[in-house]
Amino acid sequence: MSGVYARRIAVVAASAAFAATTGLLTAPTAQAAMPTPVSASTARTYLSELTVSAEGSSDGYSRDKFPHWITQSGACNTREVVLERDGTNVEQNSSCAAVSGSWYSEYDGATWTAASDLDIDHMVPLAEAWRSGASSWTTAQRQAYANDLTRPQLIAVTDNVNQSKGDKDPAKWMPSRTAYKCTYARAWVHVKHYYDLTVDSAEKGALQSILNGC
């Protein structure tokens, strides 16, 4: 793991701990969108800087090694924070569960009014991260990654669409909604670059092709 990444992840973890203790995440600003990824030109630069390597093994991987949907503040966990952020007119009960609202799924263009129809997708899936370098991280570092609200890593989308994506990279899966493919590629590269994860050659080629058309 690079020294740069080790410093970055320490800051992420410290920031999350500070926010949780001070209540900064109690009422996240409703922006109806995940954090904006870097521009296409910056993404192209970032992509050129990523280490190209054959994808690693899934041996030892478990979602439990990426503790996710941790408590952010009070009764609100990461999933509920993202649902509130990505939705419109979202109302939450005393347990922070979203009981009403409307959500537009960027991947397929569907709109939902029940939170149960939404999954929170990890832009760069946990298993993909494991095979791209996260297998060497500590559990605390993987937890920070799995609950990252600062990078364009978490987004509320149609549940079965997220399930069809699984742990596939952009060489094997892209959103069906053409208008979102550029944003998706920018976000994917943004996350991989920030966390110093590797890309395989097919993945890099697919991303280059998309970004060159942005």
pLDDT in the model for residue 28: 36
- Asked if 150 and 85 touch (Cβ cutoff 8 Å), the reply is no
pLDDT in the model for residue 25: 35
* Percent of the chain whose pLDDT exceeds 70: 85
| pLDDT tens profile 100-145 | 999 999 999 999 999 999 999 999 999 999 999 999 999 999 999 9
Cα(125)–Cα(24) distance, integer angstroms: 27
| pLDDT tens profile 29-42 | 344 689 999 999 99
Q: Which residues of the chain have pLDDT under 50?
A: 3-31
Q: How many CB atoms lie within 10 A of CB 85?
A: 20
> In the structure encoding, which two tokens stand for residue 51, read together?
């280490």
pLDDT in the model for residue 73: 92
